Amino acid sequence: MKYVVGYRPDERGADAVALAGVIARTQGAELHLVNVTNGGKAADPDIGKRALAMVPADVAATFSSRASESFVHGLIDAATEDDAALIVVGAASNGVFKRFTLGSVANGLLHASPVPVALAPRGYNRRDPLTRLTVMTGMREGWQAVLDVGITAAGRRNVPLRLVSVVEIDQLEQSDFDLNNALSPARQHVNTVLAKAAARLPHNKVSVTLAHGRNIEEAVDGIGWKSGELVIVGSSRLAENRKIFIGSTANKILRSLPVPMVVVPRDFQVQGI
């Protein structure tokens, strides 16, 4: 299994390498650090050494520079050539520390990539392996593909799997509002998903969290997160088959998260992450 890592000699590059190393550890996955330049600009001859020096000693890695009309196209081309399971990038070089502000590269990948894309929040510097995977599961078409990725990834790493459903309820302040009734469909869904996941992961801890708030951001803020966590979400129904198109709900979740996130293409059915 190989991961393509979008590398630049800046904070975003360091964030991406750190996250790729965390996801790859205990996987036997190899990292391909890719620096993309435009055709008229020569690459720094020492950039590869500096990039590879950031990779954990127990993770195999290679480095290459390639010319392309854009960083996004260069990474997608590299991932296609490598038959990569994942593209990893730093989200942006500005914004709140350890939160997400999407730059042009991350935004471009989230609307075009044919493979899952992992986003490292600004300042991500974890070195230890993942401790939990969280799958954001909604009731719309496509949730099964995201669940499959999460189950496979958790089983391969032997880490707990958490299933989270977020519900936006703007009537919370109404005195006669029946919260239990409003949450009932989502509760039934997560319990169904829990049963499916537990049956396929008999040796892993599988749990569910049903979060609600006046908006998606408030619901996500109320969820507890671990530093070694990775969140997995799906693509919008507007996405082309087997490509990523981040929807409005996933975008709101992303901007509220303090931990890394992977976005999975629509109908993704390949090797997992």
107 against 4, higher pLDDT: 4
Please check the confidence at residue 9 and state whether its pLDDT lies above 80. yes
Q: What value does the mean pLDDT take over residues 80-89?
A: 96
d(CA 144, CA 196): 10
Q: What value does the mean pLDDT take over residues 66-88?
A: 96
d(CA 88, CA 29): 13
Please check the confidence at residue 256 and state whether its pLDDT lies above 90. no
**Residue 273 pLDDT:** 87
Give the relative orientation of helices 179-200 and 143-157 as an angle to the nearest 10 degrees.
50
Identify the helix (H) or strand (E) that includes residue 83: none
- What tens digit of pLDDT does each residue of 188-236 get? 888 999 999 999 999 999 999 999 888 888 899 999 999 899 999 987 6
d(CA 262, CA 109): 12
- What tens digit of pLDDT does each residue of 12-41 get? 999 999 999 999 987 889 999 999 998 666
**Residue 162 pLDDT:** 96
Q: Which fold has domain 132-263?
A: Rossmann fold (3.40.50)
Please check the confidence at residue 57 and state whether its pLDDT lies above 90. yes
Mean pLDDT of the chain: 87
241: Cα within 13 Å, side-chain hemisphere: 1
**Residue 70 pLDDT:** 93
Q: Are 56 and 127 spatial neighbours (Cβ–Cβ below 8 Å)?
A: yes
First to last CA, the chain: 8
- Every domain of the chain and the residues it spans: 2-120, 132-263
Q: Do domains 2-120 and 132-263 have the same CATH topology?
A: yes
- What tens digit of pLDDT does each residue of 126-176 get? 999 999 999 998 777 667 888 999 999 999 999 999 999 988 887 666 666
The two structure tokens encoding residue 147: 């669940």
3-state class of 43 per DSSP?
A: coil
Please check the confidence at residue 178 and state whether its pLDDT lies above 90. no
The superfamily CATH assigns to domain 2-120 is HUPs (3.40.50.620)
Please check the confidence at residue 107 and state whether its pLDDT lies above 80. yes
How large is the greatest C-alpha to C-alpha distance in the chain, in angstroms?
67
- Cα–chain-centroid distance for residue 213? 23
